[in-house]
Structure 1
Amino acid sequence: MTTPPTPGTPEPSAGSTGPTEPTTEPTIEPTEPTEAERDEELRAFNIREQDSAWRAVAYLLTGPLIYGGLGALADHWLGTGWLVGAGIVGGMALSLYLIWFRYGTQ
């Protein structure tokens, strides 16, 4: 007659001879990047930075142009003369805020 296993202990399988040791995975040592890999990382970094700089220039140009254009249209329809200047200044302010928000908080 066999005794039932106590709660919390694993039941032995039919072919096992006893408890097994836990297996550990081999550790992989980090290696130093080669000169070619460092050059490639630097090239990718420079491309990202150039892309960010050109986007900032595009924001600085398009903000005043778009809002100044909208101000010119509103001036034409409303018969005023001050909305172009307000649109240019507002567009520049929004452009600077967008650049600060996207690139200044990193």
Structure 2
Amino acid sequence: MRAMSEQERRPESDGRDFADAAWSVPSYLLSGILVWGGLGWLLAKWSGVHAFIPIGVILGAVLAVYLVYLKYGR
């Protein structure tokens, strides 16, 4: 009995994996910026300290890049 190679074990993907990654990476980045920026905007509106908006946007971008790294970078 012979061992199967890596290419034989994996089914053909016809480029769908790349297309999924191409759509999910910008989606992670955009949603992280919008969600955390929105939370920063709400905190700024509630507290009157407008520094929360850029902090939320930057935090959202950093966390989104970290999620992309966890999913695709390893």
Aligned length: 67
What TM-score comes out, normalization by structure 1 length? 0.58
Indicate the RMSD between aligned Cα atoms, in angstroms: 1.9
The runs of 5 or more residues in structure 1 that have no matched partner are: 1-26, 31-39
**Bigger RCO of structures 1 and 2 (CA < 8 A, at least 6 apart):** 2
- Which of structures 1 and 2 has the bigger CA Rg? 1
Matched, 1:53 2:25: no
CA deviation after TM superposition for structure 1 residue 76, in Å: 0.3
CA deviation after TM superposition for structure 1 residue 58, in Å: 0.1
Counterpart in 1 of 2:35? 66
CA deviation after TM superposition for structure 1 residue 61, in Å: 0.5
The runs of 5 or more residues in structure 2 that have no matched partner are: 5-10
What TM-score comes out, normalization by structure 2 length? 0.82
Identity in percent: 34
User: How many Å separate the matches in 1 of 2:72 and 2:52?
Assistant: 29
